[in-house]
A and B are shown apart, each in its own frame.
Chain A
Amino acid sequence: DARVTQTPRHKVTEMGQEVTMRCQPILGHNTVFWYRQTMMQGLELLAYFRNRAPLDDSGMPKDRFSAEMPDATLATLKIQPSEPRDSAVYFCASGLVLGQTTDTQYFGPGTRLTVL
């Protein structure tokens, strides 16, 4: 049963510390998405990769957030320095896009981040 995995599942850190979240997309998928979910804002898209290339990171605060895909099996989302307002659940999702055909996005279990 293929699924997206994320680590860590929970992270508590202090303001100013660096946070790195990791995601392993489903094998064979060529798109990766990072979302942030809060009670106030719901699900917000932070970044989108296709074939490991970043195509859209307009939803991400550039001064402190960065997203990368070192290889096809790993996506990372880094916050440096972290702030209390970054507290949220961060989801990674992967999917398969062929030409103009969009497949479903499959979500991981999320990383619950708390910044004190």
Chain B
Amino acid sequence: GESVGLHLPTLSVQEGDNSIINCAYSNSASDYFIWYKQESGKGPQFIIDIRSNMDKRQGQRVTVLLNKTVKHLSLQIAATQPGDSAVYFCAEKGTGRRALTFGSGTRLQVQP
């Protein structure tokens, strides 16, 4: 069946280092992808999105890379800060589908 999954459930990095969070998806018809950040006790917060006609998109300190050939999505966070500690979800939406399918999440722990 269709699914969105993550390779690493927990990622620990040193403050100031770059972080890379990976996500694999199985639906080749997916055309829209989002990364969300969820801090404890809060709702998922939009970070960055990308459509399938792009392979890279940059935001403030974050970059999303999309490799449609291998159905892989990654989130890169530059100069990771303690405030980046959270669970990160990737989500995808396929053409004709109405709602997002979420992955299981990766916990990012930033060590001071």
* A and B form one complex: yes
* Chain A residues near B99 (CB-CB < 8 A): 33, 45, 48, 56
7 A-B pairs within 8 Å (CB atoms) are namely A42-B102, A42-B103, A43-B44, A56-B99, A100-B95, A104-B34, A105-B46
Interface residues of B in 26-57 (CB under 8 A from A): 32, 34, 36, 42-46, 49
In the bound assembly, the distance between CA atoms of A42 and B90 in angstroms comes to: 12
Shortest Cβ distance from residue A68 to the other chain B in the assembled complex, whole angstroms: 18
- A107 and B44 contacting across the interface, CB-CB below 8 Å: yes
Known: A56-B99, A91-B43. 12 other contacts (CB 8 A): A4-B43, A42-B103, A42-B105, A43-B102, A48-B98, A93-B43, A100-B95, A104-B34, A104-B49, A105-B34, A106-B46, A107-B44
Interface residues of A in 90-116 (CB under 8 A from B): 91, 93, 100, 102, 104-110
Instruction: Give the interface of A toward B (CB within 8 A).
Output: 4, 33, 42-43, 45, 48, 50, 55-56, 91, 93, 100, 102, 104-110
* Chain A residues near B42 (CB-CB < 8 A): 109-110
Shortest Cβ distance from residue A41 to the other chain B in the assembled complex, whole angstroms: 9
Size class of the contact patch on chain B: 10 to 19
Interface residues of B in 70-112 (CB under 8 A from A): 89, 93, 95, 98-100, 102-105
* Chain A residues near B44 (CB-CB < 8 A): 43, 91, 93, 107
* Chain B residues near A105 (CB-CB < 8 A): 34, 46, 100
Name the residue in A33, A50, A107 with the highest tally of chain B Cβ atoms < 10 Å from its Cβ: A107
Which chain B residue has the least Cβ–Cβ distance from A3? B43
- A107 and B43 contacting across the interface, CB-CB below 8 Å: yes
Q: Which 7 A-B pairs have the closest CB atoms?
A: A107-B43, A43-B102, A107-B44, A45-B99, A104-B46, A109-B43, A110-B43
